Structure 1
Amino acid sequence: MTEPSRTQSNASRYLFVLIAGLLVGIVVTVMAMRALQARQDPFPHSLMNVMARQAQLLGDSRKQNRCSVNDSTPRLQTLRSLTNDLDLAFPGLRDDTRFQQHASRFRATLNDALASPPADCTALAAVTEQLGNDCKACHQDFR
C-alpha cells in the first residue's frame, strides 16, 4: 500500500523539478537577451523608424487630401534634419562611397522638395515616390 504513494510522490517531484528548470531557463534566457541587447546601439534603428514614420505621415496626408504646403513642409523639414545624422547613425559606412551617394541623393531630393514645396497632391505624390525610391535603393545595398 505504500508503493502507490511513493510513485505519486516521485511524479510530483519530477514535475516540480521540470517546472523549476523551465522557469530558471526562461529567466537566464531573458537575462542573456537583455545583455546582448544592451551592447547594441539603438540609434540607427531609431533613426530609421522616425524617418519611416515621417514618410508614412506624408503619405497619409496625401491619402487624406491634405496636400497644402503647410501640411507637407514640416514633415519634409523633419526628414531633412534627420538626414544630417545618417553618418552618425552608421559610422561603419561613413567612408563607403555608395552609402554617401545614397545619402546625398536622399538629401538632394529633400532639398529640392523644400526649395519648391509640393502645393498639391500630385506634386506630393511625386515627392513621396522619389523619397521611397531613394530609401529603397539604399536599403537594397545595405540591409
Structure 2
Amino acid sequence: MSASPPRRPSTAYRYLFVLGLGLLIGLIATVMVGRALQARRDPFPDSLMQVMQRQADLLQQAQQQNRCSLGDSVPRLQVLRLLSNDLDLAFPGLKDSRQFQQHASKYRADLNAALASPPTDCTALAQQVQALKDDCRACHQDFR
C-alpha cells in the first residue's frame, strides 16, 4: 500500500469565505452609514406635510361621502390652520423667501376665510378643499 499524500483543502473555500465575510461587513457598514445619515435629517418638515396632507384628504373624503356638516369640516380646517402656523418653523431656509411667504400667507388666508365662514354644504366644501389643494400645489411647484 502506498501512502497517499494528505489532500489539501481547495483555496476556493477560503476565497468564498473571505468574499462572504466582505459582503457581510459591507452590508453592516452600509446600514450604519444609512442610519447615521437618516439621524442627521430633520423629520419635522416631512411630518408636517404628511399630517397636513392627511387632514386635507379627510376633508375631501368627508365631502365625497356627503358628510359636509360643520361638525365634519370645521375641526379639520382648525387643525390645518394650526399646522399652517409651523410652516416657517418647518422650513427655516425659506423663512426669508418672499415667494414662500406669499404662498404660506395665501394658504393661511384661505383657511382663515374658511373658518370665518365655514362651508355648510358639499359644494362649498368641495370648493374649499380644491382651493387648499391649489395653494399646496402652487407652493410645491415652486419649492420641491
Quickly name the TM-score band, shorter chain normalised.
Answer: over 0.9
One-letter identity of the residue aligned with 1:69: L
DSSP-derived class of the 2:74 partner: helix
Q: TM-score, normalised by structure 2?
A: 0.91
Relative to structure 1, the CA distance from residue 2 to residue 106 in structure 2 (aligned partners, 3 Å threshold; closer, same or farther) is farther
Which stretches in structure 1 are left out of the alignment for 5+ residues? none
Alignment of 1:1-143 (within 5 A): 6-7=9-10, 10-143=11-144
- Bigger CA radius of gyration: 2
Aligned equivalents of 1:2, 1:131: Cα separation in 2: 84
Q: CA deviation at 1:6?
A: 2.7
Q: CA deviation at 1:5?
A: 5.9
- The CA deviation string for residues 106-140 of structure 1, in whole angstroms up to 9 with x for no partner, is 00110111111111111111001000000000001
Which stretches in structure 2 are left out of the alignment for 5+ residues? none
Relative to structure 1, the CA distance from residue 5 to residue 104 in structure 2 (aligned partners, 3 Å threshold; closer, same or farther) is same
Q: CA deviation at 1:65?
A: 1.4
More helix by share: 1
Aligned equivalents of 1:128, 1:119: Cα separation in 2: 13
Q: CA deviation at 1:2?
A: 6.6
Q: CA deviation at 1:13?
A: 2.0
DSSP-derived class of the 1:41 partner: coil
DSSP-derived class of the 2:9 partner: helix
Aligned equivalents of 1:61, 1:115: Cα separation in 2: 20
- 97-106 or 38-47: which moved more? 38-47
One-letter identity of the residue aligned with 2:31: V
Q: TM-score, normalised by structure 1?
A: 0.92
Relative to structure 1, the CA distance from residue 119 to residue 14 in structure 2 (aligned partners, 3 Å threshold; closer, same or farther) is same
